[in-house]
Structure 1
């Protein structure tokens, strides 16, 4: 049931909560590619008016996660290529930011990064919201330590909708532990002022992240096909 799929628990603009829930449903294949989205059905299922729903759908369309349908409404697209493009762009921006940060980062910022890693290691891995907050904080410190205004602006432009707890929910706990260890290795490289290594670590970190997201999508699609096949045989 749609009503069971979508919940709006956090305090934020209604459209943003709708966006987050629909985004997660698309990424985890609860809404598989080619699913048609009808405004009136979604509005009733999510308990929201059409105005915030339309704002959320417009943002999803901008992200490339849905497209306009010929008969009205929207259709879910396969998000894998857009996800890959987004993370590869992040890798280019944040890798270069880390390279510059190795030259410009202060001891106080390195200490903040150490504290961030320690906090991330200490929290319950099931607390996806707090881990998302710490993840954003970590990457933000590194980006701002670049002291490069255009790099910082490029980072800030994408941070709100990429650094989310929805992404954290899709990653396995083992993957999340590895991400934190990679954060720690990056801090070591920054403290040694090794820009080449810092750049490589960030790029590998983000390429691995998108690989896991894409694998999740493929696994979810395979599971969906197997279920449909089993249902058909049972019938």
Structure 2
């Protein structure tokens, strides 16, 4: 059963409460059918996650400004390089199961299909699942947890700028090259590919906003 924290986080990350939206404790209590205490605790956790900030009445969903969004992408690039390197190292050491790699390939294909179909929201979800799987293969919980929080903040702040990506084919190629580096057990290549992939995504987003 989901916690109140997970329910409220879902409402924000999935876009029910978009960036800039004011939310009151009473509104959440009525929506979720719970008392104020768990709602208040959930909002405190979400504030520490950087997803909401205190407002005069309740909270407001945070939208990262351009500098903060760039900072988030730079940290994400470093963490994704780390998790890709660790996943490839584990593969080189024989620690990953064939099913783990097969699932990674499937997730890359699913992300590409969703994006090409024009379902941008589903494309983002599948893309996140692909990168999240690499984090799980890395077996480094602190890195995976930090990435989850960064992804939440990035997704919330970039949802309104979603548009058909001009580099759909390039993204798929970058994903497949990353999968190959991990599957071949090439840690340095995996780290470099993961870092460049995130930085290229950041540059494309910045270019779209100009």
Compute the RMSD of aligned alpha carbons: 4.0
Task: Structure 2: give runs of 5+ residues left out of the alignment.
Answer: 1-5, 32-41
From 66, 82, 85, give the equivalent of 1:99.
Answer: 85
Alignment correspondent of 1:82: 68
Alignment correspondent of 2:140: 148
From 129, 135, 138, give the equivalent of 1:137.
Answer: 129
From 84, 97, 102, give the equivalent of 1:111.
Answer: 102
CA distance in 1, matches of 2:133, 2:49: 27
Q: TM-score, normalised by structure 1?
A: 0.60
Alignment correspondent of 2:113: 122
Q: Any conservation in 2 of the 1:121–1:180 contact (CA below 8 Å)?
A: yes
Number of residue pairs matched by the alignment:
187
Larger Rg: 1
Shift of 1:178: 2.0
**What do residues 178-200 of structure 1 show as CA deviations (whole Å, max 9, x unaligned)?**
22221111001111111111111
Alignment CA distance shift 1:83-1:115 (3 Å): same
From 162, 182, 185, give the equivalent of 2:174.
Answer: 182
Q: TM-score, normalised by structure 2?
A: 0.67
CA distance in 2, matches of 1:94, 1:149: 13
CA distance in 1, matches of 2:8, 2:142: 31
Alignment CA distance shift 1:137-1:14 (3 Å): closer
Q: Does 1:173 align with 2:159?
A: no
Alignment correspondent of 1:208: 200
Does 1 or 2 have the higher relative contact order (CA < 8 Å, sep 6+)? 2
Q: Any conservation in 2 of the 1:117–1:183 contact (CA below 8 Å)?
A: yes
Q: Any conservation in 1 of the 2:86–2:138 contact (CA below 8 Å)?
A: yes
Deviates most, 92-101 or 150-159: 150-159
